[in-house]
Amino acid sequence: MSWRTVVISNSAKLDYRMGYLIVRNQDVVKIHISEISILMIETTSVSLTAALLCELTKKKIKVIFCDEKRNPSSELVPYYGSHDTSMKVRKQIAWSEDIKTSVWTEIVTEKIRKQAENLERWDKLEAQLLYEYITQIEFGDATNREGHAAKVYFNALFGLDFTRSAENSINAALNYGYSLLLSTCARETALNGYITQIGLFHDNIFNQFNLASDLMEPFRPIVDNLVKNMMPEKFEHDEKIEILRLLQKEVIIAGRRECVNNAMKIYCRSIFDALNDGDISLIKFYKDEL
């Protein structure tokens, strides 16, 4: 099973040879492709061969490219992640509004529950208010308990003067972590043969990852808790590496320990099963023991 997160931070040439990723800069480093789960290209001073990109795609390795500010900006997503993609897309288009809304209601409920658990870890009394919001959730979250919970949650976790729109190191860390979750869900969507643009709740015509935006929601609190622990005064290379490690953090899902990266695979597939079978009991959410 792949397990390595490889980050390329300096100028280098990457190519593929006999099963290995070859990294050439001052030294030559070889990493077997089978060991790699994520390849993060953190600098724009990197060149890659087409042969390597093709092999990474075949092996379903997540490749994330960063911009000149070293922030994630794009990723490598295969056109055909599943042999029966055409059938999967037909099923996706046929998902009823009722089952989509039911699944979204479960996702929102679980997200708020995880937020409440985070607040409990930090001994915040506002956790009880979030638990009350869970009891008030209506079908499709018609009364927007998610939005109300978010305001209470972030103010309790990071302070009353905190806003998600401010430009600071905390928001930079949160956005970086969320982008990793989004790319992971987008990859799983494509690998399972579905279209990332067609979401359950998110339906922005300019968002090509609407479905991934839906799927990632319950995992956001993992990022929030990590950033709360870090409380970074700056957000640079070392802080980004710390955020990257969240994908290797262990959680409980389907009765066993899995790293977050694998847990997201199990979770996403369970969502697709629930949508196809019309049965929300098939959804598998993770449990965080922290």
Measured between alpha carbons, how far is 211 from 175 in angstroms, rounded to an integer? 18
6 with 36: CB under 8 angstroms? yes
User: Is 80 or 100 the better-scoring residue by pLDDT?
Assistant: 100
Q: Give percent of the chain with pLDDT exceeding 70.
A: 99
- Mean pLDDT over residues 242-261, rounded? 93
Residue 125 has pLDDT above 90, yes or no: yes
85-282 belongs to CATH 1.20.120.920: yes
Residue 266 has pLDDT above 60, yes or no: yes
Kindly indicate the confidence band of residue 38, based on its pLDDT and cuts at 50, 70 and 90.
confident
Kindly indicate the confidence band of residue 103, based on its pLDDT and cuts at 50, 70 and 90.
very high
Phi, psi of 215 (to 5 degrees): -65, -35
Residue 26 token pair: 């001052």
CATH of 4-76 among 3.100.10.20, 3.10.450.50, 3.40.50.10470, 1.10.150.530: 3.100.10.20
67 with 32: CB under 8 angstroms? no
pLDDT of residue 104: 98
pLDDT of residue 60: 84
pLDDT of residue 1: 55
* Domain spans of the chain, in order of start: 4-76, 85-282
* R_g of the chain, CA atoms, integer Å: 19
Closest residue by Cα to residue 62 from 208, 240, 184: 184
Residue 226 token pair: 């990590």
Measured between alpha carbons, how far is 283 from 124 in angstroms, rounded to an integer? 29
Residue 2 has pLDDT above 80, yes or no: no
Residue 290 has pLDDT above 70, yes or no: no
Residue 183 token pair: 């790319």
Average predicted confidence (pLDDT) for the chain: 93
Residue 210 has pLDDT above 60, yes or no: yes
Length of the chain: 290
